[in-house]
Amino acid sequence: MLLAIDVGNTNIVAGIFSEEAPPKTSELIASFRMSTDKTKTSDEIGMMMLQFLSLEGIQKSQINDIIISSVVPPLMHTLGNSCRRYIGKEPYIVGQDVMPAINIKYDNPKEVGADRIVNAVAARAKYGAPLIVVDFGTATTFCAIDKNGDYIGGIISAGIKISMDALFEKAAKLPRIEIVKPSTVIGTNTVSSMQSGAVYGYVGQVEYIVARIKEELNEPDCKVVATGGLASLIAQHTETIDIVDRMLTLDGLNIISTSRSTQTPEFYQNAQKP
């Protein structure tokens, strides 16, 4: 079995994939998430991983590989120690130990977050190219993949929760709100007005940015795939998003790990260590 771990700024999401012999595709059989806390020790994280495995009836000896994608470098030493001590496996780190063979046309490819690369690999493998990947995480990111399957670049903007937290912290009279769809676009009180700004404001952002990306790609019909915690909420209110795939990042980690073990050239190449 494969333990795939995606370390984000807000949450750590982990999934267990069944072990299947090629050409069969392994399946996600269990997943869990925990808050990203840089103060947790390797023992605390390790015990939480063992508890999760136990709840799912999985022995740590059944885990053959661990692969990690992270945008939180300070947590990697702790997480690596957790994997080694409590699971007994050395994890593979995307961007350090393994790198999917996708042509990244960023000015500096090393600046592209591992999560964005993994999302691009998964979306390209599952839905083809060209396409646009929108990830509603701590930041909202837009990634453009052209018809050749090359990663062209994208956009990074403040995430929905960050924006609402900033309003609460910087505006004395504005409350902290739950991010849900208001009954009308025109708010009739402070809470509904803020909710309308959160939901419909980001719907407008998605529609405008996606339209401009399609124009620059010269691909008006390319697919738009959304992932992240609030993807479903935003997708309900726009026809711009074609597919919501909440497990896109974990699937990408599974694809990269499988390709590493089978040495499939389409998705994997040895990472060049400094």
Token digits of residue 192: 């509904």
Half-sphere exposure of 247 (CA within 13 A, CB side): 15
DSSP 188: S
Contact between residue 209 and residue 137 where contact means Cβ atoms under 8 Å apart: no
> DSSP states of 26-71 as a string?
P-EEEEEEEE--TT--HHHHHHHHHHHHHHTT--GGG--EEEEEES
Contact between residue 41 and residue 15 where contact means Cβ atoms under 8 Å apart: no
Is 115 annotated as catalytic? yes
Q: How far apart are CA 82 and CA 44, in angstroms?
A: 8
The C-alpha R_g of the chain, in whole angstroms, comes to 19
CB neighbours (10 Å) of residue 225? 25
Q: Choosing from 6, 65, 115, 251, which is the catalytic residue?
A: 115
Contact between residue 163 and residue 198 where contact means Cβ atoms under 8 Å apart: yes
Q: Where are the alpha helices (DSSP H) in the chain?
A: 42-55, 76-82, 114-127, 160-170, 190-217, 231-235, 248-262
Which positions are catalytic?
115
